[in-house]
Structure 1
Amino acid sequence: MTASATELTMGVEEEFFLVDRSTRAPVPRAAQVLDAVAELLGPQAQPEFYSCQIEFCTTPTRSGAELREQLLSLRATAARAAWDAGCLLVAVGTAVVPPADPVPVTDDPRYQRMARYYGALVDGRLGIVCGCHVHIGTLDRPRALELANRVRPYLPALQALAANSPFGGGRDSGCASWRSVVFGRWPTAGPAPQLDAEGYERTADALVRSGILLDRKMIYWFARPSEHVPTLEIRVADVNAELDTTVLLALLIRGLCATVLGECGPRGRPPPEVPAARLWAAHRYAAHYGHCGEALDPFTGETVPARTLTSALLRRAGPGLEAAGDLAAVRRLLAPLTARGDGAAWQRALYRRTGCLEAVVDRLAATTTRHPG
């Protein structure tokens, strides 16, 4: 059953770097930029963990076209404020040019407490990462968890599509999504366990009570029920300079959720059984190769081209995409990404041609605010 495809909303949170216009390295000017946009954007503009990062959030929508317009407007507003603060807005998973000195953690009580508690993870230089999170709603916690249980084998394919962080510490990391590796050091960052609502409550309480996490907002599973809005949150993607990639991810995730929604409930088929170790391995393949190399099929354990998993994802999400009228748009958005490669591929290609990391940053900044199409 896919009629509910038209009922599900999409929302996107994008995290961005602020980099100095001269050095192209991250700079702690988030407070200045956020002050400049506060009256216009209100809670849609938010600080992030480090003071060189900002986050912008769309409002929920059922329309891919409206989502695109929101993202474009938010990026343009942020880029203008960043320019006035002497910096560039850059959508990339890790800093291409690393900061010379550690970037301070944002002056927020919760972030400061996290910095003290997880000391070695908070270096202010190589541990700064920017992701893109997609929210699907409106869903109560039991339905969000049922969807999380069912979509988890398809998330490595989405991670590979969004790979956009090949550089770390000013060098090629060897991975397409170095952000995935860096962020994976945090507790609970990884595939979600299969849980019902009661199991989720027990697990979340235990994680906080034990001191592994400081609070429930630190549940960083790749698919989780949001703690502040009634949604399923998918947290597997690098932020992408190409806005079309962000829209593609949101449409694919909404289509996938709409397709499997009819399978939920006592009469539906059970969630797919995928061994946890194999799922972890599939995500490691996605982080290393992105969309341009090999992948591990979570269902079979076989090594296949990453594009084979993309095709399987598209087939699985197809009924939900068709019901929402998004199938043609997804095919149109996917074609150029497949032809040019993921964000990591074109960053590497540009660096090979120029030998200049600053040129990569400039291209990322220009692409971040370029009008698609």
Structure 2
Amino acid sequence: MSELVHEAAERDADRALLTVGVEEEFLLVDPATGAAAEAAEAVLAEVPPDLRGQVQHEFLTSQIEIGSPPGLQLDALSRSLGFLRAGLSEAAERAGFQMLAVGTGPAGPPDENSPPIFDDPRFHRMIERYGMVSPGPGYNGMHVHVGIPGPEIGVEVLNHLRPWLPVLHAATTNSPFYNGRDTGYASWRSVLWNRWPPVGPTPWLESHAHYLALVQELIDSGMLLDEGMLYWYARLSSHLPTVEIRIGDVCLSIDDTILVAALIRGLVSAALDDIEAGRPALPIDHHMLVAAHWRAAHDGLEGLAVDLFEGGTHPAWQLMRRLFDRVGPHLERHGDLETVTYLLGRLHTHGTGAARQRSVFTRTGEMSQVIDYLATQTRG
């Protein structure tokens, strides 16, 4: 009887509105050169007391991270992120640095001269285990958490999300430059980040028990230090009742972040409806998922995308429109439809963060102008 009560409770929770929260990682740079700077400690010391609970260091001393409280309203999320971004940007400037919402370092010295890792025992263990995959100025991502009724349904949600995540990957591309050069990719961070063995598309999962057993087997193999190093593009949070989507570069602007967070919540809501109705997830081949994510990192939304539903490649915006059609009723249910329609139109007009960075460089020919543009957009 208890199992039936639990299942009924999960079904009821499926129909509730879903919370959404965001974590964003940023790059700290020397304003004179644009190079990644060993600045995290100095910046943290300048953070106002009322922000410190939502700001923390990251893996490298050139990185810093914020986390918004989870909530239901996009307006509240936008205000929270705006407050945090502005406050942290000001703290960086007081410390003599700039804070950039960018996937990885657009300017500066080669990898071997990059800032060291933060002095944390776990980070040192990561260096010992993974060696030379880690050097770099910082790989700054965005993680979106959406509330779920329970881990068993959460695993089913992960299966339903798999074919849609490459489209969102394309929408978040924001790292075309690296060490002063155009990489030819919209997200060079994605290429660097994939050097880590745990990074990749979420596998097809049979159940929560399968999820837990697979994670433990990966730990036993030595590929993972612990569950926190499960860097799949979507996973169950290890400490919150959420699914955590972690595919993208940190977005250039708050508007971009809010758009992606709302679309992800819409996809999770749509998945919950499919699960309740008994509609199965599409079992996409792993290698086609890899291909779709590679294409997203290369082209962004400005080029082609792999169509995992019908095959072939199509303009990426065509797939984005299909995603929007899928989540439309769920955006309306959460009160997000008007906001997302407006923000999606802006993204279509102005382009991804990668496209906007390239536009600045094309117009000015100066990487310093790209750095200044990034700093201004980061502050909001």
TM-score class normalised by the smaller sequence: over 0.9
1:367 CA drift (Å): 0.7
Question: CA separation in 1, counterparts of 2:14 and 2:134?
Answer: 42
Q: Which residue does 1:339 correspond to in 2?
A: 349
* RMSD after superposition: 1.6
Q: Which residue does 1:253 correspond to in 2?
A: 264
Alignment of 1:64-213 (within 5 A): 64-99=74-109, 101-125=113-137, 128-195=138-205, 196-213=207-224
1:38 CA drift (Å): 6.5
Q: Deviations over 1:130-171 (max 9, x none)?
A: 000100014422122111110111001101111111012221
- Cα pair 2:20 2:70 within 8 Å, conserved: yes
Letter in 2 for 1:234: I
Question: CA separation in 2, counterparts of 1:287 and 1:231?
Answer: 25
Question: CA separation in 1, counterparts of 2:295 and 2:12?
Answer: 31
Letter in 1 for 2:377: T
Corresponding pairs, count: 367
Q: Which residue does 2:236 correspond to in 1?
A: 225
Letter in 2 for 1:273: P
1:255 CA drift (Å): 1.0
User: Does the residue aligned with 1:202 lie in a helix, a strand or coil?
Assistant: helix
1:122 CA drift (Å): 2.0
Letter in 1 for 2:342: R
Post-superposition, which runs of at least 4 consecutive aligned residues in structure 1 deviate over 6 A?
Answer: none
Q: Deviations over 1:297-333 (max 9, x none)?
A: 1112211000011011101111211111211111100
Q: Which runs of 5+ in 1 are unaligned?
A: none
- Cα pair 2:259 2:344 within 8 Å, conserved: yes
Q: Which residue does 1:305 correspond to in 2?
A: 315
How many percent identity over aligned positions?
Answer: 44
Q: Which residue does 2:3 correspond to in 1?
A: none
Q: Which residue does 2:6 correspond to in 1?
A: none
User: Does the residue aligned with 1:332 lie in a helix, a strand or coil?
Assistant: helix
Question: CA separation in 1, counterparts of 2:176 and 2:357?
Answer: 8
1:2 CA drift (Å): 11
- Cα pair 1:2 1:258 within 8 Å, conserved: no
57, 70, 79: which one aligns with 1:60:
70
User: Does the residue aligned with 1:285 lie in a helix, a strand or coil?
Assistant: helix
- Cα pair 2:33 2:108 within 8 Å, conserved: no
- Cα pair 1:165 1:179 within 8 Å, conserved: yes
TM-score, structure 2 as length reference: 0.93
Question: CA separation in 2, counterparts of 1:103 and 1:354?
Answer: 28
Relative distance call for 1:281 and 1:202 in structure 2 (3 A) is same
- Cα pair 1:2 1:262 within 8 Å, conserved: no
Letter in 1 for 2:192: V
1:244 CA drift (Å): 0.3
Question: CA separation in 2, counterparts of 1:5 and 1:341?
Answer: 34
Question: CA separation in 2, counterparts of 1:6 and 1:143?
Answer: 14
User: Does the residue aligned with 1:301 lie in a helix, a strand or coil?
Assistant: coil
